Amino acid sequence: MPVYQAPLENIRFVLHDVLGAESLSQLPGYEEVSIDLIDQILEEGGKICEEVLFPLNQSGDQEGCHFDDGNVTTPKGFKEAYDTFVAGGWTGLACHPDYGGMGMPTLIGTAMKEMICSANMSLGMYPGLSYGAYEAIHKFGNDTMKDLYLPKLVDGIWSGTMCLTEPHCGTDLGLIKSKAVPNDDDSYNITGTKIFISAGEHDMTENIIHLVLAKLPDAPDGVKGISLFVVPKFVPDDAGEIGERNAINCGSIEHKMGINGNATCVMNLDDAKGWLVGEPHKGLRAMFAFMNDARLGVAMQGLGIAEVAYQNGAAYAKDRLQMRSLTGAKYPDKPADPIIVHPDVRRMLLVSKAATEGARALSYWVGMELDISLHHEDEAERQRADDLVALLTPVIKAYQTDMGFEIANHTIQIHGGHGYIAEYGVEQYARDARIAMIYEGTNGIQALDLVGRKMAQGFGRLLRRFFHPVSDFIEAHQADENLQEFIFPLAKAFAKLQQSSAMTAQKAFKNPDEAGAASVDYLRQFALVSLAYMWCKMVIAAQKKLESIEEGGEGDKAFYESKIKTARFYMQRMLPEADSRFKMVLAGAETLMAPSQDDF
């Protein structure tokens, strides 16, 4: 049976020692945020993830969702677990108090998302999608729409979805065929078919609020003609209670590789009633509010899967006895040594540990910057933080979901044959992780977004939001003898990232295929340097804690020493990949584009 324990010590280390999350109390609306409050929320969040969500993960995968004449039933126990989750107020953790939310920082919600995704990714998608719907309506809906929908989305009584993809188009949303015809009462009749709609139909909530992309009769071609509509499963009456059934129905659910506890639906709209969110033909901008939140959420799915997979790999490696250590028996009283003594097993575990802990620091930093972008009183500071979030969103979405799948595969390999069978539960992590590399924009699209849009935006303004603090950090610490083994590798890798950025931008200006050819390797290079930066920050934090312990302060010495050992492994065994990615970026598009279609 798989295991999971909320990594609270690691989470607290990043929040308090590395990021100083309590400083968010200086932002308007977050005045009550403190170390004690953060820790209390995380403690309770960890309990519900361990005790309520995680026990249903394997059984939910094995049972899956049931489809019967348009109705979907979730796996046994899901509804009850969701009700417990709602009763604890977790659906409103990072939502505004005006609509019944707790008003906690996005950063705390980010940490909670990680634990939810580790515990039960399928179940966690239901409230996760609702939060995305909340964000879109909160930012772009009118006051009447906000008052009608937001309180019940926050309470978890209603849930939300995002309806973009159609049978003939996914990434290229300009090709959508769904139509919205205006009525005399400010509503619209919407007709079309949407596919791959996560949580499109289920039995967890009394109403489902769909956000649907469609085109008005006078819409211009392409993405400039897309509008966003809110389409409830049941149309609320004047009192805000559910009324008549709307003409949006589930035609079928998909039989999938993973996330079987979450219903992936075909949704058919036949003159369904909808209401415009925001301005006509400006739906893509509004949907990107949902999409960007979803991409950050998917990044946490990758991290969550990586964490729980690593925990299971480490537990099995300490317990499984096979052969003797290459340097002689380490446990002579046993018939064999545990496999954790073997270098290759240690390699897989350390890759998993270093990538997971580094990604946690990186994604929490993005979560904190998102809070600054939304709440800081200084407009220039809000813009700086918003730029950084925009730049790093495709990086963490692509890298962390790639990483989640890679670490799940490492865990299967560590388990050997037992990893390949369902009984041990770890093969599910690879199956669940795989979709995160695809939905909310494939990882190839994230790479194109980084190179094609974010790199050029503001004549490199977004890149400078990352490059300048990293450069300043290196300059500030390069003379510190205690940090040189970490700072020097970062400095070398960072210099090559700057070089590949300049060369890719130059070459892509002349030939767009150069951007496409470089994009995936460039994003990976960017991610590896970003994690190196975060590992340097974690080393500094760990060294300070160790100094405090030596002076009589409290703390777990072994925990902080482990951080430094893991950082050393990352710098010597993982960061060098950035150099090979640098060479791949410089290789250009020629070898990719030269073969004709007949060569394949």
Other beta carbons within 10 angstroms of residue 549's beta carbon come to: 15
Structure tokens at 274: 């909808």
Residue 27: exposure state from Cβ atoms within 10 A (0-12, 13-18, ≥19)? middle
pLDDT of residue 290: 67
Amino acid at 593: M
Alpha carbon 522 to its chain's center = 20
Other beta carbons within 10 angstroms of residue 144's beta carbon come to: 10
Are the CB atoms for 444 and 201 separated by under 8 Å?
A: no
Which DSSP symbol is given to 495?
H
Using CA atoms, how far apart are residues 57 and 261, in angstroms rounded to an integer?
A: 8
SS3 554: coil
Using CA atoms, how far apart are residues 308 and 404, in angstroms rounded to an integer?
A: 10
Structure tokens at 402: 């790639």
pLDDT of residue 140: 95
Are the CB atoms for 294 and 162 separated by under 8 Å?
A: yes
Q: Which residues contact 597 (CB under 8 A, 6 or more apart)?
A: none
DSSP 382-436: HHHHHHHHHHHHHHHHHHHHHHHHHHHHHHHHHHTHHHHSGGGS-HHHHHHHHHH
pLDDT of residue 169: 86
Element (H, E) at 250: strand 248-253
Per the listing, tokens 């909808």 go with: 274
Using CA atoms, how far apart are residues 496 and 504, in angstroms rounded to an integer?
A: 12
DSSP 126-137: HHHHHHHHHHHH
pLDDT of residue 79: 98
Q: What is the pLDDT along the chain (600 residues), one digit of tens a residue?
A: 899 999 999 999 999 999 999 999 999 999 999 999 999 999 999 999 999 999 999 999 999 999 999 999 999 999 999 999 999 999 999 999 999 999 999 999 999 999 999 999 999 999 999 999 999 999 999 999 999 999 999 999 999 999 999 998 878 777 899 999 999 999 999 999 999 999 999 999 999 999 999 999 999 988 889 999 999 999 999 888 999 999 999 999 999 999 999 999 999 999 999 999 999 999 988 877 667 778 999 999 999 999 999 999 999 999 999 999 999 999 999 999 999 999 999 999 999 999 999 999 999 999 999 999 999 999 999 999 999 999 999 999 999 999 999 999 999 999 999 999 999 999 999 999 999 999 999 999 999 999 999 999 999 999 999 999 999 999 999 999 999 999 999 999 999 999 999 999 998 888 999 999 999 999 999 999 999 999 999 999 999 999 999 999 999 999 999 999 999 999 999 999 999 999 999 999 999 999 999 999
Are the CB atoms for 338 and 354 separated by under 8 Å?
A: no
Using CA atoms, how far apart are residues 588 and 93, in angstroms rounded to an integer?
A: 46
Are the CB atoms for 212 and 234 separated by under 8 Å?
A: no
Name the residues annotated as catalytic: 440
Structure tokens at 392: 């790093």
Using CA atoms, how far apart are residues 272 and 178, in angstroms rounded to an integer?
A: 11
Phi then psi for 413, rounded to 5 degrees? -65, -40
Using CA atoms, how far apart are residues 310 and 404, in angstroms rounded to an integer?
A: 10
Pairing of strands 207-215, 158-163: parallel
* CA distances, 526 to each of 352, 453, 455 (Å): 19, 15, 12
Q: Which residues contact 464 (CB under 8 A, 6 or more apart)?
A: none
